Amino acid sequence: MKRAVAAACVRRERAQILLVLLARAVSSVSPGCPERCVCDDQHVVQCAEQDLLNFPSGLPLTTRQLILSNNRISDLPALELNYLSDLLYLDCSNNSLTHISESTFGNLRKLAYLDLSFNLFGRIQEQTFGALESLVMLRLTDNPMLSEIHPQIFSVPSVLQVLDISRNNLNRLNVSFLMALGGLRSLGLSGNPWRCACDTEELCFWMHSNTFKFIEPFLSRLKSADVRGELLDKLVTAKKPSTWI
């Protein structure tokens, strides 16, 4: 009887030790917070203005908002970024990014807000944002070398509502790129060196036949390029100031 009781005690102690070891093992693999970043219980990771040269490693897999603005990051590694399948908000503005592709955002199907402004992109490739089926707002402004946007950077249909591609180096834009965005409500095009071309004229006609908010200086820029001045006069009249942003 005593031996049975002693054996039971030993088994109980071993079970308790195993539970402690298991708890330690689980805690050791639980997601932490990257160095020089701040993480909160709302799944927000704040890494802005930390002079980061590389994408932060060790991000919690439950991250919903990731703020990387005002650093010197030159690359978004697809492998690490796509682990963040719950990501809703991504701010990469004011960095040194030069390249993104379809694989960059391949698994971010919940992402609704993306800011890539103030970077060094030269062109945006086909289907770059194709996997972002929940994307509502895209800011792609102030990239001084951005001269080309492929007309099929989104999948169809797209739920995008706000698109700002102001202050880049675009001189033409294929209107089919915008026609595919049936839910578009706000559009920024100003501050680009638009040239007088058939594509630009088609863009004017397209804007005239759609109702959404757009930035007024774009019209002035086109007018200075002498793109069908009469058409632009009508367009300015048709688009009341209340529809501008």
* Superfamily of structural domain 36-243: Ribonuclease Inhibitor (3.80.10.10)
Determine the pLDDT at residue 12.
58
Higher pLDDT pick, 216 / 102: 102
CA proximity to 115, closest of 85, 134, 141, 86: 141
pLDDT beyond 90 at 27: no
Under 8 Å between Cβ of 92 and 119: yes
Distances (CA, A) of 79 to 9, 66, 103: 48, 16, 9
pLDDT tens for each residue of 184-212: 889 999 999 987 655 556 666 666 566 55
Confidence of residue 24 (pLDDT cuts 50, 70, 90): very low
Determine the pLDDT at residue 207.
62
Determine the pLDDT at residue 123.
96
Query: Global pTM?
Result: 0.74
pLDDT tens for each residue of 107-158: 999 999 999 999 999 999 999 999 999 999 999 999 999 999 998 999 878 8
Look at 16-30, 37-51, 191-205 and tell me which has the smallest mean pLDDT.
Answer: 16-30
pLDDT beyond 90 at 85: yes
Confidence of residue 160 (pLDDT cuts 50, 70, 90): very high
Residue by residue, what is the 3-state secondary structure of 134-172? CCCEEECCCCCCCCEECCCCCCCCCCCCEEECCCCCCCC
Under 8 Å between Cβ of 116 and 91: no
What residues does each domain of the chain span?
Answer: 1-30, 36-243
Determine the pLDDT at residue 124.
95
**Rounded Cα gap, residues 174 and 62, in angstroms:** 38
Higher pLDDT pick, 185 / 180: 185
**Rounded Cα gap, residues 102 and 82, in angstroms:** 11
pLDDT beyond 80 at 77: yes
Q: Which residues contact 160 (CB under 8 A, 6 or more apart)?
A: 135, 136, 137, 138, 154, 181, 183, 184
